[in-house]
Amino acid sequence: MAAVTHGIRKLGVLGAGQMGVGIAYVAALRARVPVLLHDRSETQIKKGLAFMDKLLEKDTAKGKITSLEGKEARDRITVISPEAGLSGMRDVDMVVEAVSEKLELKQSIFRELSAKLNPDAILASNTSSISITKIAAATIPEGETGSSAEGRKSASRVVGECLISSLYVYMESLLPEMMGCLHAYGRKLVKGSPKF
């Protein structure tokens, strides 16, 4: 495996729809990181993986990637079962949420991620319409406020990431040590990234 220069050694992706699978695909192929893919629906996981296989076949047929690169990328994807839930993501360096655009759902997910993941893990939302500040507020521990040191530290782990044809990272109050990691990771994803 190539040396990891961006700091993300393992990525979690929540949601096996077209966007979540696309994020997992690009991360496994371009950033060359192991990806843990989770969805509450076994049916959606099967559909998502079938879509990813079609993307790999298409890119191989067009000569964009070799069959070996496609196989290696697919082998980097591990499904976290619905039964394992978000606990299966506990050792990721970054998790990207790509679920339905429902504030309450995203807040619930981020509250749970904040409690279960390593405190240094970057929590990213692929939202296109919901305030990152509202999502980040859900990670503030009970009894703390957004202005307390613990509240600021927790909320500052949350970023907005939108991967469409390239990577855009919207950071409201990201910790400085996470900023460089995300920039390096983003550059790795965008370089030669296929559109999905």
Please report, for the chain, the start and end positions of each structural domain, with discontinuous segments joined by +. 11-190
The predicted model scores a pTM of 0.81
Sequential pLDDT tens for the chain (196 residues): 444 456 789 999 999 999 899 889 988 998 889 999 999 999 999 999 999 999 999 999 999 999 999 999 999 999 999 999 999 999 999 999 999 999 999 999 999 999 999 988 999 998 888 888 999 999 999 999 888 988 888 888 888 876 543 333 333 344 455 555 555 665 555 554 444 4
Q: Which CATH number fits domain 11-190: 3.40.50.720, 3.40.50.300, 3.40.640.10, 1.10.1740.10?
A: 3.40.50.720
Over the range 11-34, which residues count as b (16 or more CB within 10 Å of their CB) and which as e? bbbbbbbebbbbbbbbbbbbbbbb
Give the β-pairing of 77-80 and 94-97.
Answer: unpaired
CB 58 within 8 A of CB 31: no
